[in-house]
Amino acid sequence: MTTSTTQLPHWAYAYGEPAVRGVLRSTPEDFVVDEDLGYAPDGRGDHVLLHVRKRETNTEWLARELAAFAGIRPVDVGFAGLKDRHAVTTQWFSLHLAGSEPDWNKFSCEGVQILEVQRHRRKLQRGELRGNRFRLTVRQLEGDIAALDARIRLLKEQGVPNYFGAQRFGIDGGNLAEAEALLAGRSEVRDRHKRGLYISAARSLLFNTVLSARVAAGNWQTPLAGEVVQLGNTQSLVTCDEPTPAICGRIARGELHLTGPLWGRGRPLSSGAVLALEAAALADHAAWCRGLEQVGLQQERRLLRLQVQELEWVLDEAAATLMLSFYLPAGAYATTVLREVVSGNES
């Protein structure tokens, strides 16, 4: 394995390295996330759904605080996804409270506000959300600011590479170091949650590696022989032996979507030129591929392109500030969008 576990590899840019730098999260209010479950609470049932706004608050820490206040076990608290700590976010939590419930007006936690309380029939599960809405502010812009507008219009039309974000890999890539030890059999992780994080980090690294190779080659949106495509917004996958004009047209219209590998057990789903490309990109990661097969994961696929929905922006050149708002489906990363717009650091 040649990848550093303290510094993430560089993933290729779709439109060249941004010519503008900026600072993200000068304050938590510069990174606002609103969770969209995609459905309304049932209004009845043994669970209570809390709609919560939090500022600079860790999701898992807050879940434990809610459990302690309600007098239940932490395992009886559910949430759909982890939200950025250094941000202002809204999200839902479920608490198994078949009988009476506490007076939520008495719950006090710095930076936390309960917006809504509803009954629901079941516990929230990880990944059980439609997506998230983001409102981001980038300050102290430097460089060719005048070119930003055209660049954002381009990615609004063409989309961005659907990379897993850096947070997937932990602080300084720490999850990759743990994953390497786990997959090599040098460590045993009993904590189910941590084990899942490390395995997901390894799988995400392999996907990003393949996608970056295709971006660098200029074919991440161009179908090749042996593609595995997803049908619209379904989970159905089809292998395309040859990229016929009809298939290319459907991909251009967003009816079909190119995919990349989420590694696991079984034969790769791709074939032909795509299989050869994926094998070459992962040649230095053979041990990780074998390790992921041995932990029991099955071959899956993920979209190569992320279409940024509801994208709007305000560019204030005089104040050197950019404000972006957009919607992303579950599993997509706002930082993946932002890296194609500006480069820079978080304050």
Which tokens belong to 65? 């605080």
pLDDT of amino acid 346? 65
Kindly list the distances between the CA atom of residue 124 and the CA atoms of 80, 114, 333, in Å, as whole numbers in the listed order: 6, 17, 21
Report helix, strand or coil for 166: helix
Which residue ranges make up each domain of the chain?
39-120, 160-306
Cβ atoms 33, 142 nearer than 8 A: no
CB atoms within 10 A of CB 133: 17
Distance CA 272, CA 5 (A): 32
pTM: predicted TM-score of the whole model, two decimal places: 0.91
Q: What is the pLDDT of residues 151-202, one digit of tens each?
A: 999 999 999 999 999 889 988 889 999 999 998 888 888 888 889 889 999 9
Distance CA 246, CA 253 (A): 11
Cβ atoms 131, 91 nearer than 8 A: no
Strand runs labelled E in the chain? 20-24, 31-36, 47-55, 77-79, 88-96, 112-120, 131-143, 160-161, 227-231, 237-240, 256-262, 300-303, 305-306, 309-316, 321-329, 343-346
Radius of gyration of the chain (CA): 21
Exposure string (b/e) for 100-129, b if CB count within 10 Å is 16 or more?
A: eeeeeeebeeeebebeeebebeebbeeebb
pLDDT of amino acid 258? 96
Q: What is the pLDDT of residues 121-149, one digit of tens each?
A: 999 999 899 999 999 999 999 999 999 99
Which tokens belong to 183? 């997959």
- Residue 96 clears pLDDT 60, i.e. is over it: yes
Distance CA 344, CA 24 (A): 8
Q: What is the CATH number of domain 39-120?
A: 3.30.2350.20
**Percent of residues, the chain, with pLDDT higher than 70:** 97
Q: What is the pLDDT of residues 304-345, one digit of tens each?
A: 999 999 999 999 999 999 999 999 999 999 999 999 999 976
pLDDT of amino acid 64? 96
- Residue 250 clears pLDDT 60, i.e. is over it: yes
Q: What is the pLDDT of residues 28-69, one digit of tens each?
A: 999 999 999 999 999 999 999 999 999 999 999 999 999 999
Terminal Cα-to-Cα distance of the chain (whole angstroms)? 32
User: Comparing C-alpha atoms, which of 59, 50, 60 is closest to residue 102?
Assistant: 50
Distance CA 131, CA 329 (A): 4
Cβ atoms 227, 274 nearer than 8 A: yes
Annotated active-site positions, please? 84
pLDDT of amino acid 77? 97
Please identify which residue in the block is written with the tokens 């932490």.
74
Distance CA 270, CA 261 (A): 8
Q: Which DSSP category does 150 fall into?
A: H
Same fold? 39-120, 160-306: no
- Residue 105 clears pLDDT 50, i.e. is over it: yes
Helical H runs in 98-227?
148-158, 174-183, 192-217
CATH of 160-306 among 3.10.105.10, 3.30.2340.10, 3.40.50.720, 3.40.50.300: 3.30.2340.10
Distance CA 288, CA 202 (A): 7
**Angle at CA of residue 331, ends 326 and 332, nearest 5°:** 35
